[in-house]
């Protein structure tokens, strides 16, 4: 267990804002997490992984809880599957790299996303046609009401698009400590996303391995997104809006080439396309800018304040609303 007071968060979250936390507390076991919660029962606490999906708007006058639980192990194996238990503090991409090296399939499309195992299920991270929920079997989380670790089935977590019960009704109840993922020995390579279809056009899918897909995903991401450490950012700042079929029909009349994806809830329209069509690409407020290669990302070019980022985000939302009548929802959490 490690506790630090009045700590700068400049290198503890990916946006790189110069803010401070009253306390930063790291734990290496579920028991240490329990001890910390009891010790700081009179203060506000916030679990934090890599800090890759949040924007600190001011100094945090509470306790940031960071998991240093970083182990992974195989729990169960059948002819077709391997179940892997991973602790919450393990960097997700490190886990995926290990699994891909063993040609265990299911998570390779999530490669190169900054963040931890624990945060991946809270956010239900997704990329290139795959979401965390597709491979999650069980989540273990400390219940802050009982101070016991509860075993939660994947179906009980109500995973949705960039969402789960851990972000809503369970936000102040549970802290994720371990996750069991189900990986596959053969097949199960998801190549439906347009970018991957282009990469593997004409390739015999049966010859591909998990690492082939992982390497392709990493190349695509590096061509479009700023590297962590190059510019501060929180990855995708907005979620892709899902609109009613009738609304989309009107939109398609005006913009016949609008990209879209049919879902059970309606039609999903890429937020990046809406932002670019609204003329926001390259827009800047102070040192915050809409990323030139992927307008879904807002970056800190150096010395940006949280006010710069929030104003830029608001201007992007207003532009999209004015042109398309569509509301963009933030994916990034304001703290």
Cα 267 to Cα 240: distance, rounded to the nearest angstrom: 10
For residues 266 and 316, membership in a common domain is answered with yes
For residues 207 and 92, membership in a common domain is answered with yes
Q: Which residue has the tokens 């900054």?
A: 114
Closest Cα partner for 175 from 69, 310, 21, 294?
A: 69
Structural domain boundaries enclosing 115: 72-224
For residues 194 and 276, membership in a common domain is answered with no
For residues 171 and 85, membership in a common domain is answered with yes
Domains contained in the chain, number: 3
**Of 25, 51, 67, which one is at a domain's C-terminal end?**
67
CATH code for position 249? 3.90.78.10
For residues 94 and 179, membership in a common domain is answered with yes
Cα 221 to Cα 230: distance, rounded to the nearest angstrom: 14
The two beta strands, 126-127 and 81-87, are unpaired
Type and span of the H or E element at 324: helix 306-324
* Model pLDDT, residue 234: 87
Please identify which of the residues 50, 52, 236, 306 carries the catalytic annotation.
236
CATH code for position 19? 3.30.43.10
Residues 6+ apart with CB under 8 A from 170: 141, 164
For residues 23 and 86, membership in a common domain is answered with no
| CA 174 distance to own-chain centroid | 18
Please identify which of the residues 12, 162, 173, 330 carries the catalytic annotation.
162
* Model pLDDT, residue 229: 73
Closest Cα partner for 294 from 192, 160, 189, 195?
A: 195
pLDDT string in tens for the chain (335-residue length):
999 999 999 989 999 888 999 999 999 999 999 999 999 999 999 999 989 889 999 999 999 999 999 999 999 999 999 999 999 999 999 999 999 999 999 999 999 998 999 999 999 999 999 999 999 999 999 999 999 999 999 999 999 988 999 999 999 999 999 999 999 999 999 998 888 988 998 888 899 999 999 999 999 999 888 877 788 898 889 999 999 999 999 999 999 999 888 888 889 999 999 999 999 988 999 999 999 989 999 999 988 999 999 999 999 999 999 999 999 999 999 99
* Model pLDDT, residue 279: 93
For residues 202 and 83, membership in a common domain is answered with yes
| CA 127 distance to own-chain centroid | 9
For residues 214 and 96, membership in a common domain is answered with yes
For residues 189 and 53, membership in a common domain is answered with no
**Of 42, 67, 92, which one is at a domain's C-terminal end?**
67
**Of 202, 224, 246, which one is at a domain's C-terminal end?**
224
For residues 80 and 45, membership in a common domain is answered with no
Instruction: Give the torsion sign (CA, 103, 106, 112, 117).
Output: negative
For residues 163 and 19, membership in a common domain is answered with no
Cα 232 to Cα 227: distance, rounded to the nearest angstrom: 9
95: number of CA atoms within 13 Å, CB side? 34
81 belongs to the catalytic site: no
For residues 255 and 242, membership in a common domain is answered with yes
* Model pLDDT, residue 33: 98
Q: Which residue has the tokens 């532009």?
A: 319
331 belongs to the catalytic site: yes
CATH code for position 87? 3.30.465.10
Type and span of the H or E element at 245: helix 245-254
151 belongs to the catalytic site: no
């Amino acid at each position: 267990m490690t506790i630090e007071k009045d700590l700068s968060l400049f290198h503890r979250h990916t946006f790189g804002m110069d803010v401070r936390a009253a306390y930063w507390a790291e734990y290496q076991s579920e028991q240490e997490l329990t001890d910390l919660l009891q010790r700081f029962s009179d203060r506000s606490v916030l679990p934090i992984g890599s800090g890759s999906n949040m924007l600190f708007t001011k100094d945090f006058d509470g306790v940031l809880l960071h998991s240093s639980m970083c182990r992974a192990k195989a729990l169960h194996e059948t002819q077709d599957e391997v179940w892997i238990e991973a602790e919450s503090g393990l960097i997700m991409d490190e886990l995926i790299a290990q699994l891909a090296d063993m040609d265990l399939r299911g998570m390779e499309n999530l490669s190169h996303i900054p963040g931890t195992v624990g945060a991946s299920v809270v956010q239900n991270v997704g990329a290139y046609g795959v979401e965390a929920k597709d491979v999650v079997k069980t989540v273990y989380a400390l219940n802050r009401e009982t101070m016991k670790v509860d075993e939660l089935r994947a179906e009980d977590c109500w995973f949705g698009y960039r969402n789960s019960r851990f972000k809503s009704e369970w936000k102040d109840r549970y802290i994720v400590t371990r996750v069991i993922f189900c990986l596959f020995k053969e097949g199960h390579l998801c190549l439906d996303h347009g970018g991957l279809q282009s990469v593997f056009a004409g390739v015999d899918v049966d010859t591909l391995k998990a690492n082939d897909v992982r390497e392709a995903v990493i190349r695509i991401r590096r061509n479009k997104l700023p590297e962590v450490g190059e510019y501060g950012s929180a990855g995708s700042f907005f979620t892709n809006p899902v609109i009613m079929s009738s609304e989309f029909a009107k939109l398609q009349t005006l913009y016949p080439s609008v990209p879209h994806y049919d879902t059970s809830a309606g039609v999903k329209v890429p937020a990046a396309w809406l932002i670019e069509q609204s003329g926001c690409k390259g827009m800047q407020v102070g040192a915050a800018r809409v990323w030139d290669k992927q307008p879904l990302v807002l970056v800190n070019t150096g010395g940006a304040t949280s006010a710069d980022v929030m104003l830029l985000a608001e201007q992007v939302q207003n532009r999209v609303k004015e042109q398309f009548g569509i509301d963009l929802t933030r994916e990034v959490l304001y703290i």
